[in-house]
Structure formats: C-alpha cells, structure tokens
Amino acid sequence: MSKFKNNLVVTGIYAVFAVLLVTTIYPIVWIVGTSLNPGDNLLVSKMIPDNPTIAHYIELIHTTDFVLWYQNTIKIALVNAVVSTALVAATAYAFSRFRFKGRQQGLMMLLVLQMFPGFLSVMAIFVLLLQTKLLDTHLGLILIYAGGAVSMGTWVMKGHFDTIPKSLEEAAFIDGASHADAFFKIIFPLSLPAITFVALNSFITPFMDFILPQIVLRSSDKMTLAQGLYAMVANETNSSFTLFAAGAVLVALPITLLYMYFQKYLIHGIAAGADKG
C-alpha cells in the first residue's frame, strides 16, 4: 500500500510538471509561429506556418523605431544594473557586518516593503519626479528602479554575505586593510553568484516593465521596448500583431540567452537568499 501511494504521488508530480511544461511551451511556440506568419492575422490555424518568413522582423527594424526603443532599454538596463547592484551590495554589507541601532527594524522594513506592489506608489513617484525635474528622463526611471531593487536584493545578498566567515576580514584588518579593501578584495570575489543574480534581475527589469516607463517617459524618442510594442497594438484599428510578435521574440531572445549563460550563478544566488539570519 505504501508503494502504491508513493507511485501515485510520483505520477501526480509528473502530471503537474507536464501541465506546466505544456502551458509554458505553447505560448512560446505560438508567438514564434505568429512572428513567422506571412500574413498579419493574430489567429493562425497552425502554430508553425507552412511558408515561414522573416519579413516581419525586417519590417519591424526598418519601418518602426524598434532599434531606438532597444537602445533606450539597453541603456536604462545597463545603468540600472550597475547602480542597483552597488546600492544593494553596500546596504547588504552594512546589515551583514555592522551592528547598529535600528538594524533589525531596518531589515524588517525592507522585508515588509517587498509585500507591496510598486504601482501603489505611482502618484508619489510622479509628484516626486515632477518636483525634481526628472520626469520624462531616463535618469528618473533608473533611480526608481534602483530604489525598488534595494528591498529584495538586500535580503538576497545579505544572506550570502552571512555565509562568508568574518575571520577572513579580521585577518585582513590585522594586516591594515580597511572595510573597503576587505569588501572589494575578499567579499566581492566570494559573492559573485549573489551579485550576478541581483545584477541580472536589475538588467532585465526595464525589458519587462511597462507601468513605470509609461508614467515617467512621455517623449516618443525616450520610449522603451515595452512602451513601443504596446503602442503597436493599443489602437483597435491597428493590425500590427505579427510585428508585435516579432518584437516580442527579439526582446525575449537576449534575455533567454543571458539566463542560460548565467544559470549556475542564478541558482547559487537564489540559494543564498534562503539564509536570512
């Protein structure tokens, strides 16, 4: 009976994974097939057309501002990755290595902040950027992303810092090293998995986010990929669904390659965040 129950549990687990696999793979195959469809119809009878074409990719690049949107998004993503990672690393190092008044309360506040969706602060962000004259600027958007990354990233990176023995830094202090020297020469090299995890998530955020860019960026020459692709299909009279599909594939491709390349670091980074002592 026990063996039967175990087999039943295993079968159920495999069934769940099979359903998840189908529901994940189907939309990907469908969007790729739509982007290769010779027509402009969103609904196709076959996921992979009989006569696939890359004409929509060529049209997307040459007849729209897709390249400009890509450049804007890449710029925002790169700067955001650097700024967010620096802020998160400094904050996590302070919480991990120093004991100061309000430390536990600060950690709990960062944990609580993760529970609130970002759009709840939309009005406050809009007013703040308007008063600081950062509205309709990439810098304003980057600062919002960087500030939002601190709450979750700090816990992830602090969990990793806590696993590094303090004796390594104490030995460096005896030799005359400062906290900055200890961080960059000891902590940083040993924390590449967690740092890569935070940096990659910060890099990908501008590719996926639509709400904040739509609020912050107003000029057409500053639009991100999410804004530009949405504009293609926002109007009911538009028939650019195949162009939208081609754009979605081009957006997803580099992100997928990055995840595959840094898979090892991502797994270690996620595991590091599990230790939140």
Q: How far is Cα 244 from Cα 248, in angstroms, rounded to an integer?
A: 6
Q: What is the Rg, in whole angstroms, of the alpha carbon atoms belonging to the chain?
A: 23
44 lies in some domain: yes
Count of domains observed in the chain: 2
What is the domain extent for residue 31? 2-53
Per-residue model confidence (pLDDT) at position 100: 83
**17 & 122 share domain:** no
How is residue 220 written in tokens? 């057409």
pLDDT band at 276 (very low <50, low <70, confident <90, very high): very low
Say how many CA atoms lie within 13 Å of 131 toward its Cβ.
Answer: 6
Q: Return phi, psi of residue 47, to 5°.
A: -65, -40
**120 & 250 share domain:** yes
**108 & 201 share domain:** yes
**111 & 223 share domain:** yes
Model pLDDT for residues 194-224, shown as the tens digit of each residue = 888 889 889 999 998 888 999 899 888 999 9
Per-residue model confidence (pLDDT) at position 86: 93
Averaged pLDDT of the chain: 82
pLDDT band at 270 (very low <50, low <70, confident <90, very high): low
pTM (2 d.p.): 0.83
In this structure, are residues 166 and 97 in contact, taking their beta carbons and an 8 Å threshold?
yes
Instruction: Give the single-character DSSP code of 221.
Output: G
Q: What percent of the chain has pLDDT over 90?
A: 19
Q: Reduce the DSSP state of residue 178 to 3 states and report it.
A: coil
Q: Taking Cα atoms as reference points, which of 102, 130, 133, 135 lies closest to residue 213?
A: 135
Model pLDDT for residues 87-146, shown as the tens digit of each residue = 999 899 888 888 888 888 888 888 777 777 766 778 888 888 889 999 999 999 999 999
Q: Reduce the DSSP state of residue 41 to 3 states and report it.
A: coil
13 lies in some domain: yes
110 lies in some domain: yes
